[in-house]
Chains A and B, each alone.
Chain A
Amino acid sequence: DTGVSQDPRHKITKRGQNVTFRCDPISEHNRLYWYRQTLGQGPEFLTYFQNEAQLEKSRLLSDRFSAERPKGSFSTLEIQRTEQGDSAMYLCASSREGDSAYEQYFGPGTRLTVT
């Protein structure tokens, strides 16, 4: 059973550095989502892809954040000039095409710590 995978699982970086996370969705899923979860909170929506097209972005996704999904397969989320406030768990999810009621399957997340 190949679920959603994320790499790395943990990342510690110094303030001001750039980081990039990768998400591999379930193979037949063409929709992919990124969420951010801070301690004691639920996940917050960041962005959504349908195939390679980025269709929705949250205002939380500042200009230091960029997400891509080349060829509609894996996705990367890059944070430039990291700040301590970026410390969080970054979750990726995927779902199959069709009704929006379809389940979003979540990966294990990448925990980012900015020192």
Chain B
Amino acid sequence: AQSVTQLGSHVSVSEGALVLLRCNYSSSVPPYLFWYVQYPNQGLQLLLKYTTGATLVKGINGFEAEFKKSETSFHLTKPSAHMSDAAEYFCAVRNTGGFKTIFGAGTRLFVKA
């Protein structure tokens, strides 16, 4: 069975500091991996996804993530946090050939001025 673990339900950084949100997954088949962002009272927006090929994936708003198969990780990073990055972030996994997406519990990012 697939599962996603996000380490840290809350992460707080200062504006301009590095953002690192951790995600580990388990999957018995090669996975597709996703990061979504959710602002209050809104749906989810895709930040980036890994399907095949290059393991370093760049997304919107300056975010990127690296797929590390040996560590079963897909951590999300951004070099310099902005106040507008404050939101809830979800890591998700989907089987290749499947359509059910499994989400982690989410990490709420706080950005301090």
Contacts and interface: CB of A to CB of B under 8 A. Distances in A.
Interface in B41-64: 41-46, 49, 51
A106 B34 CA distance: 14
Nearest to B32: A101
Contacts, number: 66
B97 A100 contact: yes
B67 to A, nearest CB: 13
Question: Contact size class for B?
Answer: 20 to 34
A108 interface: yes
A103 B49 contact: yes
Given A40-B106, A42-B104, A108-B41, A33 B46 contact: no
Interface in B1-43: 4, 9, 32, 36, 41-43
| CB-based closest 6 A-B pairs | A42-B103, A106-B43, A101-B51, A106-B44, A45-B100, A108-B43
Given A33-B99, A56-B100, 13 more contacts: A4-B43, A40-B105, A43-B44, A44-B103, A45-B100, A56-B99, A93-B43, A93-B44, A100-B32, A100-B97, A101-B49, A101-B96, A109-B41
Interface of A: 4, 31, 33, 35, 40-45, 48, 55-56, 58, 91, 93, 95, 99-101, 103-109, 111
